[in-house]
Structure 1
Amino acid sequence: MKPVFAKIMEGAEVATYATKVIRRPAFSTEFHFHNACQMTYIVQSEGKRIIGDSVGSFASDELTFVGPGLPHVWHNAISNQPDVPSHSTKESRSLALYIEPKQMTSVLGHFFPTHKFESFLTLSKRGLLFKGRAKEQLKQRLEQIVKLEYGFEKTRLLLEIIELMIKTDEFDYLSSAGYTHNYNPGDTNKIDYIFKFVFDNYTRGIQLDQVAEISNMSKHSFCRYFKSRTQKTFVQFVNEVRISESCRLIAENNQQITNIAYACGFNSLSNFNKIFKSIKGVTPSKYKMLLRQ
């Protein structure tokens, strides 16, 4: 998927930070990156997301923070195919806070040393998924800050958000340690199209020959191109999408493991168990048991 460099803060009333309330029938933007840091709270929606090299599912009440230059996308396009599950039966809503790291560091530097803030920015380049009490505190302030016009109160809330993020350890990393992307502005839209094709069709059998053909590339060229951009094979990516969906289903309902395996596009239970363990480190049954402890 081609990540587009986005000038998020361009035209903003205050260049150091900006807030946004997003309401759409579905989230389906291009895979992109920008210099600004981005906090995103999913008010209502569910689907698939990519942050760096992390491929997973997202749902309502998720709070993430994406550091500068880290490619990302949330996707849940409405499906017109009756046998493909739609994640967009309701309006998708999210809240976003954008912070320009260089400008913010400069501003804060007038008042106190910024080494803790800069260390946090380095950590955030892996993408952070907040949890626990910290998530609730950050969510509360984000819900308040998006309602305010620019001024003292809005800036006070911003500083509280920054302080909370710096001090907490209640988060999980999303992208791999040392991850750096290999995308460039000259990439075509082929990978962008392929990612969304997989997101919308992972419940079916996806053949490499088919994907290479619709990308207008030979199978060998496509495999080389895809891995050079994503740092993983196409098969690995498809399996990660399917396993992320199976984790969501295991957590949210009481379906049998066998039914979940087939619902996520696997053609045999043994293959599902093998791939699930290779990605998650435990079997699906063990994963289900750990969730209920």
Structure 2
Amino acid sequence: MKPIFTRILEGSEIATYATKEVCQPFFSTEFHFHRACQMTYIVQSEGKRIIGDSIDSFSTDELTFVGPDLPHVWYNNSSNRDSTHLSRSMALYVEPKLLLEVFGQLFKTHKIETFLTASKRGLLFRGETKQQLKHKLEQMLQLDYGFKKTILLLEVIELLITTDEYEYLSSPGYTHNYSSMDNEKIDRIFKFVFNNFTKEIPLDQVAALANMSKHSFCRYFKSRTQKTFVQFVNEVRVSESCRLITENKLQITNIAFACGFNSLSNFNKIFKGIKGITPSTYRAQLRI
């Protein structure tokens, strides 16, 4: 999964931080990474997101924090790509090196440094912390750059470094070896999988998208993602099955086939291998 390296804050009004609001038919960025940290609140949208080696569904009212140089992307469901289902998000970008330099002149920054280290795995916030961060981000977007907006930034940072209302997204040992080259190929593969995971995906068809032989493609994909292509597809399917189980509208058997699995037993085995529990147990836990 070779993402694009992007320069978020170059040319911005303020070099240390920036806020951004997105409202369009669908999220259109490609798989990318940047030195700036990114806090994102999904105002309205749903689909699949990749943060590091985490592949999962996202939906409205989700708030994440992506640390420096952590690859990420949000893909919308193809069914939502029309003007009646606008995708809306709010984001805060912070340049960590400059932030530490500025704050280092005022106080010790070890708590911020600890948080930034944790954020390199990607964080998903919940509870009261999520609501407070969302509210402060909404306020920041309404202000010009100045004292009031910067004070809100400080309040956001204080919340981030003092809360424990979050979970990690990427695995503990995750690292990436991506460069700014060759991004189109992997982004094309991602989009193909997200649009076709409900049916069988022949390996030779995907390899052809990358203009590679099957053997070369498998080696290429594994070296970039630290997982096999089959494992990647299974994780996409399981993330969708979790979303459907949460909606509680379909039987487990129907969900298995709706997500591209060829049998219930195969679905149960792969789901348990990824989530550690069976689909039925997952549903039962949601009811508690």
Aligned-partner SS, 2:188: helix
Partners of 2:228 and 2:28 lie apart in 1 by 23
Contact kept in structure 2, 1:20 and 1:96, CA below 8 Å: yes
Q: Which residue does the alignment assign to 2:43? A: 43
What is the root-mean-square deviation in Å for CA atoms of aligned residues?
1.2
Match of 1:180 in 2: 175
Which residue, out of 200, 209, 215, partners 1:205? 200
What residue in structure 1 maps to residue 17 of structure 2? 17
Structure 1 residue corresponding to 2:231, chosen from 231, 236, 246: 236
* Preserved contact between residue 128 and residue 171 of structure 1 (Cα < 8 Å): yes
Q: How many residues matched?
A: 287
CA distance in 2, matches of 1:14, 1:7: 14
Q: Which runs of 5+ in 2 are unaligned?
A: none
State the match for 1:67 in structure 2.
67
Q: Which of 262, 269, 274 is the aligned partner of 1:274?
A: 269
SS of match in other structure, 2:181: coil
Is the 1:223–1:233 contact (alpha carbons within 8 Å) kept by the matching residues of 2? yes
User: Is structure 2 residue 185 aligned with structure 1 residue 190?
Assistant: yes
User: Residue 282 of structure 1: SS of its match in structure 2?
Assistant: coil
CA contact (8 A) 2:200 2:260 kept: yes
1:215-230 paired onto structure 2 within 5 Å: 215-230=210-225
Q: For the Cα contact (< 8 Å) 1:24–1:91, is it kept in 2? A: yes
Q: Which amino acid aligns with 1:65?
A: F
* Cα separation, 1, equivalents of 2:174 and 2:209: 29
Give, in whole Å, the separation in 2 of the partners of 1:29 and 1:201. 20
Amino acid corresponding to residue 76 of structure 1 in structure 2: N
The structural deviation recorded for 1:77 is 5.5
From 108, 117, 136, the equivalent of 1:113 is: 108
Residues 52 and 126 of structure 1 are in contact (CA less than 8 Å); yes or no, is this contact kept in structure 2?
yes
The alignment partner of 2:55 has SS state of strand
Question: Would the aligned equivalents of 2:3 and 2:186 in 1 still touch at CA under 8 Å?
Answer: no
Q: Secondary structure at the match of 2:40?
A: strand
% of aligned pairs identical? 71
Pair 1:197–1:41, CA change in 2 (3 A):
same
Q: How does the TM-score come out when normalised to structure 1? A: 0.95
Q: Which of 265, 279, 287 does residue 282 from structure 2 map onto?
A: 287
Q: Which amino acid aligns with 2:25?
A: P
Whole-Å separation in 2 of the counterparts to 1:174 and 1:139: 19
Over residues 7-40 of structure 1, what are the superposed CA-to-partner deviations in whole Å (9 max), with x where a residue is unaligned?
0001111110000001111113111000000000
**Over 6 Å off, 4+ runs:** none
Q: Give the SS at the match of 1:183.
A: coil
- Do the aligned partners of 1:127 and 1:174 also contact (CA within 8 Å) in 2? yes
Q: Write the letter of the residue equivalent to 1:39.
A: M
1:47·1:87 contact (CA, 8 Å) conserved in 2? no
CA drift of 1:87 comes to 6.5
Does the CA contact (< 8 Å) of 1:33 and 1:71 recur in 2? Answer: yes
Once the 2 structures are TM-superposed, how far is the Cα of residue 187 of structure 1 from its aligned partner? 2.5
| TM-score normalized by the length of structure 2 | 0.97
In 2, Cα distance between equivalents of 1:46 and 1:19: 21
User: Does the 8 Å CA contact 2:37/2:95 hold for their aligned counterparts?
Assistant: yes
The answer for the alignment partner of 2:253 in structure 1 is 258
The correspondence for 2:96, drawn from 94, 97, 101, is 101
Secondary structure of the 1:23 match is strand
In the TM superposition, what are the counterparts of 1:158-169 in structure 2 within 5 Å? 158-169=153-164
Query: 5+ residue gaps in structure 1?
Result: 79-84
Report whether the alignment pairs 1:151 with 2:146: yes
The alpha-carbon deviation at position 186 of structure 1 amounts to 2.8
Give the deviation of 1:267 after TM superposition: 1.2
In 1, are the aligned partners of 2:26 and 2:80 still within 8 Å (CA)? no
Cα offset, 1:188, TM superposition: 5.0
- 1:28–1:77 contact (8 Å) kept in structure 2: no
The aligned amino acid for 1:165 is L
Partner-residue secondary structure (3-state), 1:8: coil
Q: Which amino acid aligns with 2:281?
A: K
Question: Contact 1:240–1:279 at 8 Å: present in 2 too?
Answer: yes
Contact 1:46 1:87 in 2 (8 A): no
Query: What's the CA shift for 1:86?
Result: 4.2
| CA distance in structure 1 between the partners assigned to 2:14 and 2:30 by the alignment | 25
- Tell me whether 1:31 sits opposite 2:62 in the alignment: no
- Per mean C-alpha deviation after superposition, the further-off stretch among 187-196 and 157-166 is 187-196
1:124 to 103, 106, 119: 119
